Amino acid sequence: MIKETQIIEALQKVHKKSPLVHNITNYVVMNNTANALLAIGASPVMAHAVDEVEAMAGIASSLVINMGTLSEKWVDAMLLAGKKATADATDIVFDPVGVGATPYRTQVARQIIEACRPTIIRGNASEIMALYDSNVATKGVDSTVSGNIALESAKLLAQSTQAVVVISGESDYIIDGEKVVIIHNGTPIMAKVTGMGCTASAIIGAFAGAEEDRLVASTSAMAVMGIAGEMATEKSAGPGSMQMNFIDALYAISDKEIENRLKASL
């Protein structure tokens, strides 16, 4: 379905093209995701103002919409940017942070999907299940179920939205309709670092801005995330040093690291 060489080539495309990734994201993770994007070779911009998001989306290689810290003006900005990106056929990565935790989050998530038609959706297992079925409740931003349990919901969500759906977790599942790719890289300590999921969405945005095939782009991003996490964990004493070493690992990751470390069902 996907070859290891395609993941390596996708990373090379990111390095070569340095895609401009427009992020409308939460203020908890802005610095982390901007540094991660720079480290991987992309060019980040964090633009939220209603007066400029359409213009920014118009020049961006991809748009990442992350609803971690919602407010009325930011939702307006997300919808404006998303509609512009859709009109321009620019890939949109949607991160439905905490969907299912409150009625407002669920309402906003559905509004974004209907108005913006994201091309890639990434969330943890609980979020993906809640996004497909509004009767599913979640515990804030943390997943309470494993990825394989959410797989059927992800397949149905992918079919109904025509988006590639990514379930991140101990193993990462990337779903394009009936096609399922699984990445087994990563370490448990990554879950102890704030914003790793948000960073994954941003990295997917970088790959989507450089690689036309959305399944390849999403798979490559999750593979690179997991491998960089393993590289960082080997040098880290805990979550604090992990955060720093992870950025370094994204910067240092090579074709050889992918060849030697990739654990996937492609």
Beta bridge partners of 44: 21
**Tokens, residue 236:** 């880290």
The residue extents of the domains of the chain are 4-265
Instruction: Determine how many CB atoms are found less than 10 A away from the CB of residue 87.
Output: 11
pLDDT digits 0-9 by tens, 197-231: 999 999 999 999 999 999 999 999 999 999 999 99
What's residue 122's pLDDT? Answer: 98
**Helix, strand or coil, per DSSP, at residue 141:** coil
What's residue 133's pLDDT? Answer: 81
**Helix, strand or coil, per DSSP, at residue 65:** strand
Asked whether residue 263 carries a pLDDT value surpassing 80, the answer given is: yes
Longest dimension (CA), the chain: 47
Residue 93 pLDDT grade (very low, low, confident, very high; cuts 50, 70, 90) = very high
What global pTM score does this model have?
Answer: 0.95
For residue 174, CA distances in Å to 44, 59, 72, 99, 125 come to 24, 27, 31, 19, 12
Asked whether residue 184 carries a pLDDT value surpassing 90, the answer given is: yes
pLDDT digits 0-9 by tens, 122-177: 999 999 999 988 555 554 444 445 557 889 999 999 999 999 999 999 999 999 98
4-265: CATH number: 3.40.1190.20
Phi, psi at 114, each rounded to 5°: -70, -40
Rounded to the nearest integer, the mean pLDDT of the chain is 94
Asked whether residue 189 carries a pLDDT value surpassing 90, the answer given is: yes
Please name which of 117, 78, 96 lies closest in space to residue 168, comparing C-alpha atoms: 96
Instruction: Determine how many CB atoms are found less than 10 A away from the CB of residue 194.
Output: 13
Q: 97 near 68, Cβ under 8 Å?
A: yes
Taking the C-alpha atoms of residue 58 and residue 89, their distance in angstroms, rounded to an integer, is 10
Please name which of 20, 75, 21 lies closest in space to residue 48, comparing C-alpha atoms: 75
For residue 153, CA distances in Å to 46, 147, 166, 243, 265 come to 31, 10, 11, 31, 20
